[in-house]
């Protein structure tokens, strides 16, 4: 991310951030990108560049946005579970489009054209840095063990994700929330193929967001007279945000960084923190409703408390 962030810090040109963000997304392994190849990166970068203007328009138009989000998330599940494409590839494309479009939607499609073009050189730069300096990245990696739980079929999983994402987006739009992407992504990320895994991840995501937003707010209050220190802490969090393998810590760091980065970019930092925790709670709550509704009957029978006569 260094070239884009250095350019932004020296000139104040937000196009530096628009270059750094896809580079950040593409460089994150997500813990599950075994088999990632340069071709995957190239295809996703081209798709991101093509789709970003449309995604930006959609985020400003709730009525068409909801069904498109539902269809896209269902397709993403099918691709991840039915094909050999590394799941990190689909994650990167979804995260980039949701998050970048959210930042640009207020300014319209025109604001998305330059960021869309910057995805391609950002992808080339990321390949040069990551694949050349990290030759083993494309090799098969040992996958983290999944939490034991009853799995649901691919069609049920796709439908569950689509309904959760669509409902979360609808609720966020009706509440006139900013950063609707956090509600959508929280719903998507919680709905796993295993019910117990979904329940576990939902708790960890909310806990991480609560910790991170609390820390972010505390830093704003305690260090408001030391803006240079807030800037330094933000820079450190940007570097560390993708490092932790512990999910709670990862969400906490990203939540704190969302508040501090908003401050650095001239936004309303307290409002950003409120949107962060509120939308995560909304997305997780909606997702849990559908996870439990789609849970296999065998899982529900196992988890029902014994009746004491």
Per-residue pLDDT band for 202 (boundaries 50, 70, 90) equals very high
- CA angle 115–120–123, rounded 5-degree value: 110
Q: What is the pLDDT of residue 150?
A: 47
Q: Cite the DSSP H helix spans in 60-86.
A: 62-82
Gap between the Cα atoms of 258 and 216, Å rounded: 8
Taking residues 126-149, what's their average pLDDT? 62
Lowest-pLDDT range of 29-38, 65-74, 288-297: 29-38
Task: Give the three-class secondary structure for 32.
Answer: coil
Residue 31 pLDDT exceeds 70: no
Q: What's the predicted TM-score (pTM) here?
A: 0.87
Q: What is the pLDDT of residue 11?
A: 92
Query: Looking up tokens 């498109």, which residue turns up?
Result: 68
- Over the chain, what is the mean pLDDT? 86
Gap between the Cα atoms of 290 and 164, Å rounded: 6
Residue 146 pLDDT exceeds 70: no
Gap between the Cα atoms of 242 and 91, Å rounded: 14
Residue 100 pLDDT exceeds 60: yes
The two structure tokens encoding residue 67: 């069904």
Taking residues 62-78, what's their average pLDDT? 93
Residue 181 pLDDT exceeds 90: yes
Tens of pLDDT, residue by residue over 148-171, are 444 778 899 999 999 999 999 999
**Beta-carbon count within 10 A of 306 CB:** 5
Among 178, 175, 206, CA closest to 268? 178
Residue 133 pLDDT exceeds 90: no
Among 123, 109, 14, CA closest to 57? 109
Task: Give the three-class secondary structure for 105.
Answer: helix
Taking residues 93-103, what's their average pLDDT? 92
Contacts of range 270-278, beta carbons closer than 8 Å, 24 or more positions apart: 270/217, 270/220, 271/178, 272/178, 272/179, 273/213, 273/216, 273/217, 275/177, 275/178, 275/179, 275/182, 276/179, 276/182, 276/209, 276/212, 276/213, 277/209, 277/210, 277/213, 278/177
């Amino acid at each position: 991310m260094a070239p884009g962030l250095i350019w932004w810090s020296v000139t104040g040109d937000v196009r530096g951030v628009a270059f750094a963000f896809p580079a950040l997304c593409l460089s994150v392994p997500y813990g599950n990108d075994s088999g990632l190849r340069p071709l995957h990166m190239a295809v996703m970068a081209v798709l991101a560049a093509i789709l970003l203007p449309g995604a930006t328009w959609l985020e400003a138009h709730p009525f068409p946005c909801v069904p498109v989000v539902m269809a896209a998330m269902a397709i993403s599940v099918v691709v991840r579970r039915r094909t050999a494409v590394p799941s990190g590839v689909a994650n990167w494309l979804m995260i980039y489009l949701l998050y970048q479009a959210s930042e640009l939607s207020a300014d319209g499609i025109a604001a998305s054209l330059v960021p869309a073009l910057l995805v391609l050189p950002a992808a080339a730069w990321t390949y040069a840095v990551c694949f050349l300096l990290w030759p083993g990245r494309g090799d098969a990696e040992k996958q983290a063990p999944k939490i034991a739980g009853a799995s649901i079929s691919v069609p049920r999983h796709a439908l569950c994700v689509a309904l959760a994402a669509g409902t979360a987006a609808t609720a966020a739009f009706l509440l006139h929330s900013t950063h609707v992407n956090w509600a959508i992504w929280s719903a998507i990320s919680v709905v796993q193929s295993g019910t117990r895994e979904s329940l576990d991840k939902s708790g960890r995501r909310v806990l991480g967001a609560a910790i991170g937003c609390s820390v972010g707010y505390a830093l704003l209050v305690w260090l408001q007279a030391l803006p240079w220190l807030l800037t330094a802490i933000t820079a450190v969090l940007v570097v560390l945000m993708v490092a932790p393998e512990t999910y709670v810590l990862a969400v906490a760091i990203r939540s704190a960084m969302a508040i501090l980065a908003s401050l650095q970019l001239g936004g309303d930092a307290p409002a950003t923190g409120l949107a962060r925790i509120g939308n995560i709670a909304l997305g997780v709550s909606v997702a849990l409703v559908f996870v439990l509704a789609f849970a296999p009957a065998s899982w529900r029978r196992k988890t029902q408390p014994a009746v004491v006569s």
